[in-house]
């Protein structure tokens, strides 16, 4: 019923709902209404059963290959291989399951009800009931600071304003009027006779009748939109799925080829099948799923320590390819705390520092000569501070957390209290007795209080819209005395008002009346002008630098807000999000655009203002149609649909609503926009590391494949047994690959352009690297087998030599895999000590199976002579040496090109 309530008179609403504004509903009416409307709560998505979450971990194509290899090995009696492969598969599955479950539980700890109780009239009595018990027709009483527990048609309003930022994005409280009957086409943000669920009463008192509960509320409607949008696969998931399909094709082709070659040479089908299974084991990087999952899990834990909670493991990587960040303004880029920035008093222009409600800041006198810090000691400025402090209903109190401050009441009035406190006005000085007060209303656009001090002297303080206040001023405080207000001076003050407003400041005029100190009642004529104050919801201090880092990283920041266009544009330009040439587009202008037109113009629009949730969704989709990877940040319910539709949705954990946190892939625990840029860097590093160990793993497996294929073509016996191949993959794909996942970000990582979401994880050039490094490994392995088989005629000794050379060569190559650009000496030996520890431990394990008598029969190995040790170490060092020398050559060539370019340009 919310959709039509604003266009219906109060009495008609009450009649339709069979309610009474004095007695409310009866108990029987409440029961009947609940049977029809249900409970006043948002319908949550049914939690996914644990068994289904666990089964989802087995959806990877590479996992299917491993299971198939395990089944074949078991059928052939190779139970050691079967057990080892299945152990890896299960480890991968449980690791992913427990990490995601841990993140979900951490998020659940954040959630709390926005309005747990409500004051309601039932059976003629005022009672406090759980908010979920409300039904349409209930009469609810509200006062300043209360959360609105359902959608209400207001019945009475006493100077009330409602903070609706969580729903509409409007940073300033909205004045409400129960008398209004509005056109049906009135936009949501302008329905001034309604109060919506999850918004907050900033000041005043009100009574309303519940017209919608639960999923029928405006918030419920938005929550319903979330359930109709299916989340897409992340870029990493798409890349791994594509890689898995390629591996399946290669694996089947090579297995079939080797099997046929074996049969053509006269081998038995069992020998041919043994060779084929060996090749399949060599082709599949068994450690890939486990290492990818572990890498993402480690990234999740690092980000949690940096106040970013990621709900799904692949979302960690998605951040690394973000090319657009669409950010809500209120509460995300700004504090959602009004702050006075400028003051004009006694003809002097002051700039005020500090942000938010903390009463800490300085005053700078601004003149044509520049700025200088000052202390407000003159009478003119002190008078303006008293007006700000006394003509006020708000209170500023320390928060529960050290260093935080909260405002009880209207945020605008709270900003004035903070301004007075910054000037040194103490609480004792702010306690004269109120004789009379005249609340703010939209006709007068002013508020006044009449005060009486300890001496019996009365003085009136008034604040309001500059046009109205100045029209009633006959004098002003100037140069520490009261002088007559001239027309020229009035024009100068109005010009100052226009200049402040052009900087997107909300401007209020301050005035007083102190004729003879005996004024019997408030009189808003013949006032003395005391000053102008300009305030704004200021941007967070750390956001500007975060925007700079975004631009350096090739990421486009975009502001999408429900706030006023001028305010949004000013904040965006101050933060560097928008240039003067960038367009500011409103929701009405968006409605006039087709989706194709929006997609064609989206690159030229930096700020979207006065937008509805549907508009935010359109903007996110417009960027995505261009192939960009989009992050959407937000805290309010109005942000939730776009947050879910984005490639990576980011919600605020402190100020964010439950609906938005549930829709998001990542939650910022400190509501700090700068943490998003840190998360992007983390995501890029994670993708880099995944790519590093992927190249490492695939080149290892490619080398093993080439070795096995070459032996088959030359008619040699298989140089490595299946159990040896499995051990090679376990010992080299395990600890070393995991250590590569812990590599810190390379220098210059955040100065790269974002990669495109459709960019293959393995490009042609990287494929060449994999083949080249694999060829090096196959060459040294073949030489080792030739040395043992052709020269010494001992097959077991040849396999042992080949086995050890391949293991040590791969382990040493892990040092070179830390970067495709820098040598491990240039990166620093101890910037990643885990790599050296992993190589050392894995090498000792390999030495152990050769040296320990009980291990030799398992792997069919023999011991080495001293000469063989020298040969195999020389062969093992060859690949890493060649790879590092190639890097140095490329660096020298690159420096020569740079020198030639600079010489040409000079």
Tell me which residues are annotated as active site: 328
* Three-state DSSP state, 374: strand
Strand 194-195, strand 151-163: pairing: antiparallel
Phi/psi region, residue 29 (left: phi>0; alpha: psi -120 to 50; beta: rest), is alpha
Cα 177 versus chain centre, distance: 37
Tell me the C-alpha distance between 604 and 744, whole Å: 36
Please return the burial class of 186, using the count of CB atoms within 10 Å of its CB with bins 0-12, 13-18 and 19+. middle
Distance from C-alpha of 428 to C-alpha of 425, rounded to nearest angstrom: 8
What's the rounded Cα separation, in Å, for the pair 530 and 776? 83
Q: Do 95 and 293 contact (CB within 8 A), yes or no?
A: yes
Q: Are 339 and 570 contacting, i.e. CB atoms less than 8 angstroms apart?
A: no
Contact indicator for 523, 291 with CB cutoff of 8 Å: no
Rounded Cα distance, 789 and 341, in Å: 84
**Strands 481-484, 125-130: pairing kind:** unpaired
For the chain, the C-alpha Rg in angstroms (whole number) is: 36
Contact yes or no for 659/42 (Cβ under 8 A): yes
Listed residue (504, 515, 508, 505) closest to 533, CA to CA: 508
How many residues would you count in the chain?
906
Q: Answer yes or no: are the C-beta atoms of 339 and 538 closer than 8 Å.
A: yes
Report whether 726 contacts 275 (CB < 8 A): no
Tell me how far apart the alpha carbons of residues 200 and 197 are, in angstroms, rounded to a whole number: 9
Strand partners, 632: 326, 649
| Nearest to 719, CA basis, from 284, 282, 287, 285 | 282
**H or E element, residue 504:** none
**Which element (helix H / strand E) includes 195?**
strand 194-195
What is the enclosing helix (H) or strand (E) of 712? helix 674-714
Strand partners, 372: 365
d(CA 752, CA 555): 10
The string of DSSP letters for 12-65 reads HHHHHTT--TTT-B-HHHHHHHHHHH--SSPPPPPPPPHHHHHHHTT--HHHHH
Q: Which of 635, 682, 683 is nearest to 663 (CA)?
A: 635
């Amino acid at each position: 019923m919310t959709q039509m309530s604003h266009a219906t008179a109060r009495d008609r609403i009450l009649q339709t709902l069979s309610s009474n504004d004095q007695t409310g509903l009866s108990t029987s009416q409440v029961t009947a209404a609940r049977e029809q409307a249900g409970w006043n709560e948002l319908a949550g998505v049914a939690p996914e059963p644990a068994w289904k979450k666990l089964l989802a971990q087995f959806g990877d194509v590479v996992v299917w290959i491993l299971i198939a290899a395990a089944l074949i090995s078991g059928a052939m009696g190779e139970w050691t291989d079967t057990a080892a492969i299945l152990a890896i598969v299960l480890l991968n599955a449980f690791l992913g399951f427990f990490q995601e479950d841990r993140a979900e539980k951490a998020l659940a700890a954040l959630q709390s009800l926005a309005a747990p109780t409500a004051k309601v009239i039932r059976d003629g009595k005022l009672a406090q009931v759980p908010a979920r018990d409300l039904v349409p027709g209930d009469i609810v009483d509200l006062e300043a600071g209360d959360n609105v527990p359902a959608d209400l048609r207001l019945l009475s309003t006493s100077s009330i304003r409602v903070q609706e930022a969580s729903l509409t994005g409007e940073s300033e409280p909205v004045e409400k009027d129960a008398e209004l009957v509005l056109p049906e086409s009135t936009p949501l943000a302008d329905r001034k006779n309604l109060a919506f669920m999850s918004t907050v009463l900033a000041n005043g008192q009100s009574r309303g009748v519940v017209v919608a509960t639960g999923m029928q509320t405006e918030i419920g409607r938005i929550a319903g939109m979330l359930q109709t949008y299916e989340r897409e696969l992340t870029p990493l998931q798409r890349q791994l799925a594509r890689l898995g399909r390629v591996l399946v094709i290669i694996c089947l082709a090579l297995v079939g080829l080797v099997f046929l070659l074996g049969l053509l040479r006269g081998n038995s089908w069992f020998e041919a099948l043994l060779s084929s299974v060996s090749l399949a084991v060599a082709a599949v990087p068994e450690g890939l799923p486990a290492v990818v999952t572990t890498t993402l899990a480690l990234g999740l834990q690092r980000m949690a320590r940096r106040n970013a909670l990621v709900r799904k493991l692949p979302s960690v990587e998605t951040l690394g390819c973000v090319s657009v960040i669409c950010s809500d303004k209120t509460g995300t880029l700004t504090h959602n705390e009004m702050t006075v920035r400028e003051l004009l008093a006694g003809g002097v222009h002051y700039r005020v520092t500090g942000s938010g409600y903390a009463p800490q800041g300085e005053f700078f006198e601004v003149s044509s000569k520049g700025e200088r810090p000052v202390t407000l000691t003159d009478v003119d400025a002190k008078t303006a501070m008293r007006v700000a402090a006394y003509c006020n209903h708000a209170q500023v109190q320390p928060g529960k957390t050290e260093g935080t401050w909260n405002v009880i009441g209207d945020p605008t009035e709270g900003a004035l209290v903070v301004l007075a406190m910054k000037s040194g006005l103490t609480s004792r000085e702010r306690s004269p007795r109120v004789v009379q007060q005249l609340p703010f209303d939209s006709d007068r656009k002013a508020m006044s209080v009449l005060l009486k001090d300890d001496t019996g002297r009365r003085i009136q303080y008034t604040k309001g819209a500059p046009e109205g206040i100045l029209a009633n001023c006959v004098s002003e405080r100037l140069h520490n005395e009261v002088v007559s207000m001239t027309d020229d001076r009035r024009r100068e003050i109005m010009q100052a008002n226009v200049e402040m407003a052009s900087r997107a400041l909300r401007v209020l005029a301050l005035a007083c009346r102190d004729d003879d100190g005996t004024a019997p009642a408030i009189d808003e004529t013949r006032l003395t002008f005391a000053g102008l104050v300009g305030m704004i919801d200021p941007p967070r201090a750390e956001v500007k630098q975060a925007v700079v880092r975004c631009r350096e990283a090739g990421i486009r920041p975009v502001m999408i807000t429900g706030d006023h266009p001028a305010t949004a544009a000013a904040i965006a330009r101050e933060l560097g999000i928008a240039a003067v040439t960038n367009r500011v587009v409103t929701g009405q202008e968006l409605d006039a655009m087709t989706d194709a037109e929006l997609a064609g113009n989206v690159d030229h629009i930096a700020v979207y203002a006065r937008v509805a949730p549907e508009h935010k969704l359109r903007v996110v989709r417009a960027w995505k149609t261009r192939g960009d990877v989009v992050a959407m940040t937000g805290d309010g319910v109005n942000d939730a649909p776009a947050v879910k539709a984005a490639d990576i949705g980011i919600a605020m954990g402190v100020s964010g609503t439950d609906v938005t946190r549930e829709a998001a892939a990542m939650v910022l625990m400190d509501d700090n926009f700068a943490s998003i840029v840190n998360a992007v860097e983390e995501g890029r590093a994670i993708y880099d590391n995944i790519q590093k160990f992927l190249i490492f793993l695939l080149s290892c497996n490619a080398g093993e494949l080439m070795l096995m294929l070459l032996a088959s073509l030359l008619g040699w016996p298989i140089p490595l047994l299946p159990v040896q191949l499995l051990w090679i993959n376990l010992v080299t794909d395990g600890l070393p690959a995991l250590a590569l996942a812990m590599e810190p970000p390379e220098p210059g990582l955040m100065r790269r352009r974002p990669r495109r979401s459709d960019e293959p994880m393995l490009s042609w050039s990287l494929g060449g690297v994999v083949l080249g490094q694999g060829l090096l490994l196959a060459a040294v392995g073949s030489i080792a087998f030739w040395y043992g088989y052709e020269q010494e005629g001992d097959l077991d000794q040849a396999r042992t030599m080949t086995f050890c050379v391949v293991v040590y060569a791969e382990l040493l190559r892990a040092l070179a895999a830390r970067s495709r650009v820098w040598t491990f000496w240039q990166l620093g030996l101890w910037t990643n000590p885990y790599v050296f520890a992993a190589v050392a431990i894995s090498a000792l394990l390999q030495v152990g199976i050769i040296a320990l008598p009980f291990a030799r029969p398992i792997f069919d190995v023999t011991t080495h002579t001293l000469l063989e040790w020298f040969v195999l170490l020389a062969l093992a060092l060859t690949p890493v040496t060649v790879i590092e020398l190639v890097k140095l050559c490329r660096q020298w060539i690159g420096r020569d090109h740079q020198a030639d370019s600079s010489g040409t340009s000079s």
